[in-house]
Amino acid sequence: MRKLLLILPAIIMLFSCSGVKTTSIQTTQTSVNETLKYEGPKARIAVASFKCKAAKCYGRIGSGIRDMLVDALVKSGKFIVLERGEGLGAIKEEMRLSESGYINKEKAPEKGLMEGADILVVGSIVAFEPNAEGIKGTVGGLIRKVPLIGGVSGKLKEAYIALNLRLIDVRTGRIINSTIVEGKASSFNVGAIIGGILHIPLGVGLSKYKNTPMEKAIMVMLNDAVKKISQLVPEDYYRYKN
């Protein structure tokens, strides 16, 4: 038994130096999951399309992040989230179909019942770095020195994403508030996954980042986004009952 206890540390060190990867993410102790029991009044909100303004943000990544934020806001329980993406086009098509005469008038959707948003969230991705290994001088001091582990230097890969958000009053067009939310995640030989953050399926254009530091960075960023939006929306906008 004593010999076994002496051997175990050596085995652990062997696995640590063999390239076995874990992911460590930067987050806070509180998370959007804590608001799931929220039963107070809600604010009506809609999320517009997101623009890619970062060099490595391309294709439909903006749409994917936007869809994920919509899901995160719905799960928070603090908002009445109104569809303004692809679903709105499908609703309009359904309304046109009801007017064509093919649908029973008694069972057709009635016009003028759609709800309007009080607040519109507009966003742009200002930083998107899926694999920062070997890159110096990145935003926010992304690259750090990796300590020697058992005499062998660990390989560090980091991902970083930043999203600029503006909250606009739909009635007046005034910008209520603006903020930047970000997410960072690191992959290295010795570490642990810090749990307790929101996790939702990756949006369109982001599937290639599944099980990578970028997926974790996106989740951290979304978690921060929901908390910031909840805080920045003025209290008098929370006036709708469930």
Q: Which residues of 186-201 are buried (b: 16+ CB within 10 A; e: fewer)?
A: bbbbbeeebeebbebe
> How far, CA to CA in Å, does 140 sit from each of 81, 127, 154?
32, 11, 21
Residue 38's pLDDT is 76
Q: Write the pLDDT tens digit of every residue in 99-118.
A: 676 676 666 666 665 788 89
> How far, CA to CA in Å, does 228 sit from each of 82, 161, 163, 165, 178?
19, 16, 12, 10, 10
Give the other-Cβ count within 10 Å of 39's Cβ.
Answer: 8
* Of 41, 54, 39, 45, residue with least CA distance to 72: 45
Q: Write the pLDDT tens digit of every residue in 132-179.
A: 754 444 444 444 444 443 444 445 778 999 999 999 999 999 999 999
- Identify the residue with better confidence: 205 or 22: 205
As a whole number, the mean pLDDT across the chain is 75
pLDDT more than 70, % of the chain: 58
d(CA 108, CA 91): 12
Q: Write the pLDDT tens digit of every residue in 37-70.
A: 778 899 999 999 899 999 999 989 999 999 999 9
Q: Which residues of 107-135 are buried (b: 16+ CB within 10 A; e: fewer)?
A: ebeeeeeeeebbbbbbbbbbbbbbebeee
pLDDT more than 90, % of the chain: 45
Give the other-Cβ count within 10 Å of 83's Cβ.
Answer: 15
Residue 137's pLDDT is 40
- Identify the residue with better confidence: 8 or 173: 173
Its pTM stands at 0.70
Both tokens of residue 69?
């934020």
Q: What is the total residue count of the chain?
A: 242
Angle at CA of residue 137, ends 226 and 186, nearest 5°: 50
CATH number of 22-27+39-234: 3.40.50
Name the band, by pLDDT with cuts 50, 70 and 90, for residue 199. confident
- Is 202 within 8 Å of 215 (Cβ atoms)? yes
Name the band, by pLDDT with cuts 50, 70 and 90, for residue 191. very low
Both tokens of residue 55?
């060099």
Out of 81-90, 119-128, 195-204, pick the least confident. Answer: 81-90
